[in-house]
Amino acid sequence: MAHIKVQLEINGESVELEVKPYETLLDTLRERLELTGTKEGCGLGACGSCTVLIDGVPTRSCITLTAEVQGARITTIEGLSDGMTLDPLQQSFMEKGAVQCGFCSPGMILTARGLLNRNPTPSREDIIKSLSSNVCRCTGYKKIIEAVEAAASPENSEN
């Protein structure tokens, strides 16, 4: 089967790859690029654990083909931090105790980052609606919603 050449910007770095036509973005990130912060929960796009930002929009990487996102700007959980300073959402999740096992956290954080980039001061209802398709099996959602509320401010929306 022929491979397809794609060029992407992943976490601020230009990447050129040859991928199989049916290769998912999740597999490309985890297996080829070793960006293992993006998790595979269901493989069906239902749980949100595999969420990344594609051109700023929260997207399920397990049902997105890498070849479909040619030229896109992709941000994974590894790309939110600059290596020294956490994204305000990451910091807030830690401070508010919004993690337990942590499996869903990357997807939750990236979904919330997409919301805050669009709307720096969302209502509680906006936050709940935005996170409604991300599944957390451990913490419930109370602390997660509180963490997003705490991080929500105009200066934090630029990350």
In this predicted model, what pLDDT tens digit does every residue of 116-150 receive, in sequence order? 999 999 999 999 999 999 998 887 789 999 999 99
Average per-residue pLDDT for the chain: 92
Which residues on adjacent β-strands are paired with residue 54?
Answer: 57, 74
Both tokens of 85, joined, read 């300073």
Residue with tokens 């022929």: 2
How does residue 1 score in pLDDT terms, banded at 50, 70 and 90? confident
Distance (Å, rounded) from C-alpha 91 to C-alpha 32?
28
Tell me, yes or no, whether 104 and 56 share the same domain.
no
Tell me the residue range of the domain where 139 lies: 88-158
Give the count of alpha carbons within 13 A of 97, CB side only: 3
Single residue among 79, 114, 137 that ends a domain in this structure: 79
In this structure, the answer to whether residues 10 and 72 fall within a common structural domain is yes
Q: Cα(70)–Cα(86) distance, rounded to whole angstroms?
A: 28
Read off the tokens for 120.
């720096």
The CATH number that applies at residue 125 is 1.10.150.120
Same domain, 109 and 65: no
Q: Given a cut of 50, is residue 157 above it in pLDDT?
A: no
Residue 159 has pLDDT above 90, yes or no: no
Q: Are strands 73-75 and 4-10 parallel, antiparallel or unpaired?
A: parallel
* Residue 101: predicted pLDDT: 85
Last residue of a domain, one of 79, 102, 127: 79
The conformational region for residue 73 under phi > 0 = left, psi -120 to 50 = alpha, else beta, is beta
Q: Assess whether 116 and 133 both reside in one domain.
A: yes
